A and B are shown apart, each in its own frame.
Chain A
């Protein structure tokens, strides 16, 4: 997935370079301060057109606030941001016309049908009337809801509602689709199906997807990931590079002659291996390339092999020094403070 997408691992650290007008999203030194809380503390990054870009971090890390600033819902305290080339402060309506939005909480009218919700959206966004019905049919088809067009949203399951919101977000053919925690509160099976629809969408259409998540496994669907913690960007890179940065993969093999296998690993590959829980276990970088060589050159028949890669949990741990669960626990207080600040 997306391995051919150009990566820009470097994070523009200062807010001094101007935003990139060709980028789908370009952010420089963005800050949001509420009365007694700095929710976003100067983030900078670029998202290339066509990229799927993931914002990863615990609750209260500042992901949603950043997304709200990019969607012109919240005014930045400082810094600059351009979405589809439009300044989020000075060209709010242009930004809004270029983006599709799917929020954490549902924003559908449950007492309207799926079709009516979409028609309402088409009119609010000014989709050409003669194209409207056809376009509604298209997005319903992409999200697999064609036969539910005339059903009241009231009767939809959580997963169907989320799909309808994605359909609605796509209706006006935005250049950037923002998904704020698109699978939160859904069961694992429904989450998987949402991702299936999203990857299908990416295969069919040239669209930039910007999403936030605090599920580590979902970040794997992204071309690049930005890890956010306590209002700051910690690192931006591809999932593979981030994981490679954490360390090597773990390989476990079973052979007919473990002692010889261990000796051969040392002699031919200079690898220290040991028997752990009945399997020959060792660590190596880039295991998926190493395993074919292993079969060809080890000289000992291999019965089975398993490779486990470092997870994004390990990545988060490396960059923040804590697990996402721990970060979540301490982040709850921050989130509460933010809520108070917003209401006050």
Chain B
């Protein structure tokens, strides 16, 4: 320390924005931004998250192609799997960003947010939107491989897929945040995710068409919310493919409830509503954390 007298500081004139919606939106924005910064700084995470879907698409997809070629003329199994693998690609990043709440708690940063003069809902919404952006971006990266599996680069289709991926990501992140609010250890969180992820994925029709399956399985697939995200994506892709109608009917039958065809807008609404319900539950959970 120097002995010379300290400069006299100007009086503190820090005006804080009044409480209200504008302030809350600013808080949502900065929580969202933090997710993007964390994501963009972690290049390894971006690459690692790409590995799994690519393995499914090119290794499992190619391997199974030989087996199922006869059943569906005019289409490779990889093409069939593409929409499902897109769903898979957002699954992990969605849960991962949601789970970062567990990290934030462990390393203390969560408290910085919890003591701020903002509503808890702003934290949860910011976190969910951040996770949605990150996961949809990760899934979107996979769209670059469309051409390699016989899916055309149709701009309208790509845009529609990104919207569908975002809706799915939002629901998954909100579900993950809801779990993360209760779980204090990263290991426990990942265990729960592992437990949830495979049933959700396998029952969604991401890996096999929902035609000709036994009734008990058909019921389960209709209970899996991801089904209602995978089906619109498959519809979006298959509408741009030049394949025999019979093949399309086999591989892209749509989802039915007791014989009634569930329309694409309704499917996406179901997923979005699931997301909002989960978000509301997550906000409620957050009110009780100190």
Contact = CB atoms under 8 A, between A and B. Distances in A.
A and B: bona fide binding partners: yes
Interface stretch (B19-27, B46-54, B57-65, B159-167): B19-27
A116 B17 contact: no
Contacts of B116: 96, 121, 124-125
A83 interface: no
A235 B290 CA distance: 29
A127 B15 CA distance: 6
B119 to A, nearest CB: 9
Given A121-B112, A127-B16, A128-B15, A204 B9 contact: yes
A205 B9 contact: yes
Q: What bracket does the count of chain B residues touching chain A fall in?
A: 35 or more
A126 interface: yes
A172 B14 contact: yes
Contacts of A105: 108
A128 B13 CA distance: 10
B17 A107 contact: no
B16 A107 contact: no
A119 B27 CA distance: 11
A109 B109 contact: yes
A68 interface: yes
B30 A125 contact: no
B100 to A, nearest CB: 10
Contacts of B118: 93, 124
Count chain B CB atoms within 10 A of each CB in A74, A94, A109, A204 and give the residue with the most. Answer: A109
Contacts of A200: 1, 6
B290 A68 contact: yes
Contacts of B240: none
A83 to B, nearest CB: 12
B9 A173 contact: no
A284 interface: no
B115 A204 contact: no
Nearest to A152: B41
B12 interface: yes
B247 to A, nearest CB: 48
B30 A203 contact: no
Contacts of B142: none
A204 B104 CA distance: 34
B112 A107 contact: yes
A32 to B, nearest CB: 12
B19 A93 contact: yes
Contacts of A128: 14-17
Given A107-B111, A123-B30, A131 B15 contact: yes
Interface in A62-114: 68, 71-74, 93-94, 96-97, 101, 103, 105-112
Interface string A304-315: 000000000000
B1 A196 contact: yes
Contacts of A131: 13-15
Contacts, number: 100
A269 interface: no
B37 A126 contact: no
A232 interface: no
Interface in A109-164: 109-112, 116, 119-121, 123-128, 131, 135, 138
A121 B117 CA distance: 10
A74 B29 contact: no
B30 A124 contact: yes
A18 to B, nearest CB: 25
Interface in B75-120: 104, 107-118
B112 A93 contact: no
Residue among A107, A108, A168, A203 with the highest chain B CB neighbour number at 10 A: A107
A126 B109 contact: no
Contacts of B16: 97, 125-128, 172
A73 B120 CA distance: 12
B34 interface: yes
A111 B38 contact: yes
Given A68-B290, A107-B111, A120 B15 contact: no
A110 B110 CA distance: 12
B109 A107 contact: yes
A97 B34 CA distance: 22
Contacts of B111: 103, 107
Nearest to B23: A126
Contacts of B34: 109, 112, 120
B27 A103 contact: no
A50 to B, nearest CB: 13
A73 B1 CA distance: 36
A286 B30 CA distance: 56
Contacts of A138: 9
Contacts of A116: 37
A72 B29 CA distance: 24
A287 B245 CA distance: 103
Contact of A110 (B17, B27, B37, B107): B107
Given A120-B30, A126-B17, A205 B12 contact: yes
Contact of B108 (A74, A103, A121): A103
Contacts of A112: 34, 37-38
Contacts of A171: 14
Nearest to B30: A123
19 contacts: A68-B290, A74-B290, A96-B116, A97-B117, A101-B115, A106-B107, A110-B107, A112-B34, A116-B37, A120-B30, A120-B112, A124-B30, A124-B116, A124-B117, A127-B14, A127-B15, A171-B14, A172-B16, A205-B12
Given A109-B109, A205-B12, 14 more contacts: A68-B290, A96-B116, A107-B108, A107-B110, A107-B111, A110-B107, A112-B38, A119-B30, A121-B112, A131-B13, A131-B14, A172-B14, A173-B13, A173-B14
Query: Which 4 A/B pairs are nearest by Cβ-Cβ distance?
Result: A126-B17, A173-B14, A123-B30, A96-B117
